[in-house]
Structure 1
Amino acid sequence: MPLSILKNRPMNNRFLLTVNLFFFLCLKIGAQHQVPIPTPAQLQWQNAELAALVCWDMHVFDGEFYVQKEVRITPVEDYNTFNPENYDMDQWIKAIRDAGFKIAIFTVSHETGFFFHQSNATPYSMKALSWQDGKGDILRDFKASCEKYGILPGVYIGTRWNAYYGIHDFKVQGDSEFSRNRQAYYNRTIEKIVEEIFANYGEWAMVWFDGGAHGPEQGGPDVLSVFEKYQPNGLFYHNLQRADIRWGGSETGTVPYPSWGTFPYRAIGAGESAKKEIGANNFQLLKKGDPDGVYYMPAMSDAPLRGKGGHDWFWEPNREHTIYPLDDLVNMYYNSVGYNTTLIMGLTPDPEGLLPQPDVKRLKEFGDEINRRFSNPIASTSGAGKTINLKLLERQIINQVVVMEDISQGERVRTFELEGKTSKGWRTIFKGSVIGHKFIHVFDDIEVTRMRLVIKSAIGTPKIKKIEVHKN
């Protein structure tokens, strides 16, 4: 063997060792990031936990029962029936704030096609009204009140249905030159309208297109590029190119467990554009997500406050009996926020321009009850790794546990167990899969001195933001 090779062998060994160590570290770092990572807007959305969807449209003022299929195809006979004599936007937003909600979303337009802002793009907007001499701007007032009360603002824009412009399920009906021209005109109008909303009113925490928004590929307006130009920090929901959150598969305000924050498709679609797999088995994929999904897209759980024995997203006369009882709302919280989703509660101002007092009262009761249950944990801790121990100051009875993962690094936990140390030793309380932003488990009273979270499997090092125990 040549002397030069013998002399270089230690150096070669050191070189190979360095290369191997480099690749090992790369693989380890890669393993830490094999889960989708939420954007700052998605983190803000999930940290908010409670969002209010404030629903108002022209049919609120006609005194008749709301029939959606008719509203979608019937232009409003007299838009000057809009005359909320006691209009008080601060009353709406203060009620939302006092109930513990962190985000409020306003329907600047819905299926009648009327826009509640000062628009130069469509005549069917606040400028057309006799109310406030055509100078009112509900969207402006909403944004200002959200800022006043520390609420993150969102805007809901209806483009899928528009009775004024004759749009049904995204389209002008027919395939004539007339219908094609009308469709092109509608698309240009919507693009101008969304530019007004995105460019003239400051930042929006989230933008919600009702039923999705067909893009140019489907013959619709290009709203996504306008959003990305003017609202780069916002949450976008949704079209076939992008969805930052997903519908939770029902309007019950709940999802089943587990509900992963990840999803296999970039978008969920709407109507005929939705993939068959998404709608299969009563929307199970939307409800549960996919632990192996390559897109971070957490579910939202939505329901109207007036949904008990009805489903009233919009105000109708003599419907106070449909307001959910407090126990139902608390159960909704456990099965939405407690299952890794954001709860969206539909609220509707009345024709006077106020949130009805029975609704305000129930909202406050709900917020107070959630605060009572979770604001003072018996004990709490945080940590990283496969086992997180929580020691109580003394033996105590508990019946609720809250676990929060640090999802800024993605959902890393795959399976876990919760255990409590009783006088007879360690006892398994729950075996689960996803933790995500927040997992809440309720169980029969048990007396313990310690709790521990045992993570059975994870991708990378699991990071637990909080584990806390409560007695309700």
Structure 2
Amino acid sequence: MNSRYLLTLSLIFTLFVNMGAQHQVPIPTPEQLQWQNTELAALVCWDMHVFDGEFYVQKEVRITPVKDYNTFDPKNYDMDQWIKSLKDAGFKTAIFTVSHETGFFFHQSNATPYCMKALKWQEGKGDILRDFKASCEKYGILPGVYIGTRWNAFYGVHDFKVEGVGTFAEHRQQYYNTMIENVVEEIFANYGDWAIVWFDGGAHSPEQGGPDVLSIFDKLQPNSLFYHNLQRSDMRWGGSETGTVPYPSWGTFPYLSTGAGESAKKEIRANNYQLLKTGDPNGNYYMPAMSDAPLRGHGGHDWFWEPNREDIIYPLDKLVKMYYNSVGHNTTLILGVTPNTDGIIPEPDVKRLKEFGDEIKRRFDSPVKSVSGEGYQLSIKFANKQNINQVVLMEDISKGERVRKFILEGKTKGGWHMIFEGSCIGNKFIHRFDDKEVSAVRLKVLESIGKSQILEFSVYDVTNP
């Protein structure tokens, strides 16, 4: 057997292994790709309790009907101000809480009386969801809708279930489930396409005695992200509300869905939701994590507006660190923002969002040099000695997360030196380090499932503000 024949066999075998490996790596849908490329999303939180003059206590709001829903009277309501503030800060997706724990729906509903039709404001003809969708389209923001079904103080629903026993509870549960299905159909059919649909705390599926929301979603919003119930989850919670995940955080997961509360598998709940935080490189499902936190979360945790709480808006340096530990760890960062009783995003919040967006642009818009390619080594060379202190890596995840182990090295006058040794790259990995003067930098992929596909390898010299 001659050497040319052996070489041919070797090449065929390598090609076969690589082709087989491609099929072993879970591939994201176009909607999941769009979601991860969003990087920054805003969860716009509003509910009736913002207007009651009392400090929000979640466990009380969940079980206490609103005393007077006509306290809702935002005299300076300006939806464009909300969305333009997000656009100016660099956000690409906005998600609005059309309902939360009070059970009130901020749209014109024929399925429930507890909606905009019940208000004196705008003579009962207002539609916050309609305005939100229109403004997102105006400013080029991807729109998402957040629907609360798990808690509903108006209907007496607690953790998905109505109160009571026997036939009484059975009939009330059926009524509630049908109402939710009709509301969901209104939102999906009457307001156009949504980039993401988020069910607060998940949604019980029919097998658990809940409404059949997934079939309505599949019929009316086939090109959207679904989050989530026991039947399906297109993304996963990152395991905390700190706006961060640890490294590594893989985009793949071993289970089809994550569940909610007690319906979550014990393996998911274990070790303070560690599996949600890290994912699983050998998982069979592509389900990237999200990192969420309220903007007013520094020394507090205000998803909803409260007066005189500007002091708990995250400082700029904390938000920047949050970005590195969320987007830079292969997740999308979701920041909670909240309009006040006047119907606008407060000016201190708007200012901090803009500062944050500007600082991210300053740090990432101008790399010293970038390359891309496939294979097991990529290099960047400089004509002269170059100071660097930050590296960004991105895989082409349309072909799946392939890299399992890599090192970054910089060449100094003393030779090649380690900058970082890691495992997950995924959609985006960011590493910052002390200033280093180098003549070259290289990425060496030590382990991968098939040939690695590097969409971006960029180096930066970022100065402190």
SS in 2 for 1:193: helix
> How many angstroms does 1:392 deviate by?
2.5
Match of 1:121 in 2: 111
Aligned pairs (5 A) from 1:164-203: 164-203=154-193
Q: Give yes or no for the alignment of 1:260 onto 2:214.
A: no
Match of 2:403 in 1: 413
In 1, are the aligned partners of 2:409 and 2:418 still within 8 Å (CA)? yes
> How many angstroms does 1:21 deviate by?
9.7
Q: Report the Cα distance in structure 1 between the residues aligned to 2:386 and 2:13, rounded to whole angstroms.
A: 49
Q: Report the Cα distance in structure 1 between the residues aligned to 2:305 and 2:442, rounded to whole angstroms.
A: 47
In 2, are the aligned partners of 1:33 and 1:460 still within 8 Å (CA)? no
Deviations, residues 194-223 of structure 1 (Å, cap 9, x unaligned): 000001111100000000000100000000
> How many angstroms does 1:48 deviate by?
0.4
Structure 2: gaps of 5 or more residues: none
Match of 1:91 in 2: 81
Q: Report the Cα distance in structure 2 between the residues aligned to 1:158 and 1:19, rounded to whole angstroms.
A: 58
Q: Which amino acid aligns with 2:90?
A: G
SS in 1 for 2:215: helix
> How many angstroms does 1:390 deviate by?
1.2
Q: Report the Cα distance in structure 2 between the residues aligned to 1:44 and 1:200, rounded to whole angstroms.
A: 23
Q: Report the Cα distance in structure 2 between the residues aligned to 1:286 and 1:367, rounded to whole angstroms.
A: 27
In 1, are the aligned partners of 2:17 and 2:450 still within 8 Å (CA)? no
SS in 1 for 2:334: strand
Q: Report the Cα distance in structure 2 between the residues aligned to 1:356 and 1:24, rounded to whole angstroms.
A: 59
Match of 1:345 in 2: 335
Q: Which amino acid aligns with 1:243?
A: S
Q: Give yes or no for the alignment of 1:155 onto 2:154.
A: no
Aligned pairs (5 A) from 1:260-409: 260-409=250-399
> How many angstroms does 1:33 deviate by?
2.2
Q: Report the Cα distance in structure 2 between the residues aligned to 1:470 and 1:45, rounded to whole angstroms.
A: 25
Q: 1:21 to 1:337 in 2, by over 3 A?
A: closer
Q: Give yes or no for the alignment of 1:43 onto 2:38.
A: no
Match of 1:30 in 2: 20
Q: Give yes or no for the alignment of 1:455 onto 2:437.
A: no
In 1, are the aligned partners of 2:51 and 2:341 still within 8 Å (CA)? yes
Q: Report the Cα distance in structure 2 between the residues aligned to 1:36 and 1:89, rounded to whole angstroms.
A: 39
Worse-superposed segment, 80-89 or 23-32 = 23-32
Q: Give yes or no for the alignment of 1:433 onto 2:459.
A: no
- Structure showing greater Rg: 1
Deviations, residues 149-198 of structure 1 (Å, cap 9, x unaligned): 00000000000000011100000123221111000000000000000000
Q: Which amino acid aligns with 2:37?
A: N
Aligned pairs (5 A) from 1:36-115: 36-115=26-105
Match of 1:233 in 2: 223
> How many angstroms does 1:23 deviate by?
8.6
In 1, are the aligned partners of 2:18 and 2:451 still within 8 Å (CA)? no
Q: Report the Cα distance in structure 2 between the residues aligned to 1:385 and 1:174, rounded to whole angstroms.
A: 62
Deviations, residues 355-398 of structure 1 (Å, cap 9, x unaligned): 00000000000000000011000111101000011123421111
Q: Which amino acid aligns with 1:363?
A: L
In 1, are the aligned partners of 2:294 and 2:303 still within 8 Å (CA)? yes
Match of 1:10 in 2: none
Match of 1:7 in 2: none
Tell me the TM-score normalised to structure 2 length.
Answer: 0.96
Detail structure 1 runs of 4+ shifted over 6 Å in the superposition.
18-24
Q: Which amino acid aligns with 1:371?
A: K
In 1, are the aligned partners of 2:43 and 2:97 still within 8 Å (CA)? yes
Q: Report the Cα distance in structure 2 between the residues aligned to 1:347 and 1:398, rounded to whole angstroms.
A: 35
Q: 1:31 to 1:332 in 2, by over 3 A?
A: same
SS in 1 for 2:393: strand
In 2, are the aligned partners of 1:33 and 1:409 still within 8 Å (CA)? no
Q: Report the Cα distance in structure 2 between the residues aligned to 1:367 and 1:241, rounded to whole angstroms.
A: 36
Q: 1:408 to 1:69 in 2, by over 3 A?
A: same
- 439, 454, 465: which one pairs with 2:455? 465
Q: Report the Cα distance in structure 1 between the residues aligned to 2:263 and 2:20, rounded to whole angstroms.
A: 35
In 1, are the aligned partners of 2:238 and 2:290 still within 8 Å (CA)? yes
> How many angstroms does 1:20 deviate by?
12
> How many angstroms does 1:104 deviate by?
0.2
> How many angstroms does 1:272 deviate by?
1.2
Structure 1: gaps of 5 or more residues: 1-13
In 2, are the aligned partners of 1:37 and 1:296 still within 8 Å (CA)? yes
Deviations, residues 390-437 of structure 1 (Å, cap 9, x unaligned): 123421111110001100000000000001111111111000000000
RMSD (CA atoms):
1.5
In 1, are the aligned partners of 2:405 and 2:423 still within 8 Å (CA)? yes
In 2, are the aligned partners of 1:118 and 1:127 still within 8 Å (CA)? yes
Match of 1:9 in 2: none
> How many angstroms does 1:30 deviate by?
1.7
Q: Report the Cα distance in structure 2 between the residues aligned to 1:453 and 1:174, rounded to whole angstroms.
A: 61
Q: Report the Cα distance in structure 1 between the residues aligned to 2:247 and 2:327, rounded to whole angstroms.
A: 11
Tell me the TM-score normalised to structure 1 length.
Answer: 0.95
- 202, 208, 211: which one pairs with 2:198? 208
Q: Report the Cα distance in structure 1 between the residues aligned to 2:270 and 2:340, rounded to whole angstroms.
A: 37
Q: Report the Cα distance in structure 2 between the residues aligned to 1:418 and 1:24, rounded to whole angstroms.
A: 26
Q: Give yes or no for the alignment of 1:130 onto 2:116.
A: no
Deviations, residues 84-121 of structure 1 (Å, cap 9, x unaligned): 00000000000000110100000000000000001000
Identity %: 75
Worse-superposed segment, 412-421 or 393-402 = 393-402
> How many angstroms does 1:26 deviate by?
5.1
Q: 1:24 to 1:445 in 2, by over 3 A?
A: closer
